[in-house]
Amino acid sequence: MKYTGRVWKFEDNINTDLILPIVAFYMTPEEQARYVFKANRPGWVDQIKPGDIIIGGKNFGMGSSRPAARSLKTLQIGCLIAHSINGLFFRNAVNWALPAMECPNVPEAFDEGDIAEIDFDECVVRNLTKGTVLKSERVPPELVSIVEAGGIYALLEKKGAIAAKAPA
């Protein structure tokens, strides 16, 4: 699994209320995605392009179990890389099929707008703009295959264990 894209940088301790605020909780996934970072970075959702990459600091995604990772997936964010990712957010990322990987000290290696290349097999993050390379943490292959399969729901659908569509 390999991703290349333009980088957006975020600070330490980005929480789930910033990604999926409670005011958007009852909306459809598409509507919810419009609220991503509305409180801390208004207008960001209109600046991004499909395949862009988020670089976060420490404990990215702290907080709630709500499907905040799905909102990033809905916005077609290609990949999330952070110094560290909150455990609950990471499992939601895997299960909603958002590629996510930890890479210590990654924020220092990038300026916003740089082009990053993320290689899940080789466990490296490359800054193609600056020509630098960082070693990342390995995402276990079992989890990479969940992401590649399209997430937990896609797997369960294939098994015939859940209905294909969300309830109306």
Partner 1 sequence: MGMTIAEKILAKKSGRAKVSPGDLVTVEVDTVVVMDNNFMPSQWRDVLEVRDPERIVVAHDHRAPASTVASASAHVTGRKFVEKFGIKRFHDVGAQQGISHQLVADYGYALPGSVLICGDSHTCSAGVFNCIARGVGTPDIVYGCVTGTAWFKVGATVRYELTGRLPRAVTAKDAFLQIAGQYGDHATMNVEYGGSGIASLSINARKTLTTMSAELSAEFATFEADEALIEWVRARNPTPFEPVAPDPDAQYAAVREVDLSTLQPLVAFPDSVVGNSRPVADAAGVKIDQAFIGSCANGTLEDLTLAAEVLKGRQVATHTRLLITPASQIVYREAARSGILSILADAGAVVTPATCGACGGGSMGVLGPNETCITATTRNFKGRMGDPSARIFMGSPATVAASAIRGVITDPREFLK
| 74 binds partner 1, rule: CB under 8 A | no
Nearer to partner 1, 1 or 162 (CB): 162
Nearer to partner 1, 5 or 33 (CB): 33
Quick check: helix, strand or coil at residue 90? helix
- The single residue among 7, 18, 98, 100 that binds partner 1, judged by CB under 8 A, is 18
Quick check: helix, strand or coil at residue 159? helix
Report how far residue 76's alpha carbon sits from residue 36's, in angstroms, rounded to the nearest whole number. 12
- The single residue among 22, 113, 130, 132 that binds partner 1, judged by CB under 8 A, is 22
Length of the chain: 168
| 29 binds partner 1, rule: CB under 8 A | yes
**Backbone angles phi and psi of 130, in degrees to 5:** -95, -15
Quick check: helix, strand or coil at residue 92? helix
Count residues binding partner 1 (CB under 8 A). Answer: 49
With a CB cutoff of 8 Å and minimum separation 6, the contacts of 168 are: none
**Interface residues toward partner 1, by CB under 8 A:** 13, 15, 17-18, 21-23, 25-29, 32, 39, 58-59, 62-67, 69, 84, 86-88, 90-92, 95-96, 140, 142-143, 151-153, 156-157, 159-163, 165-168
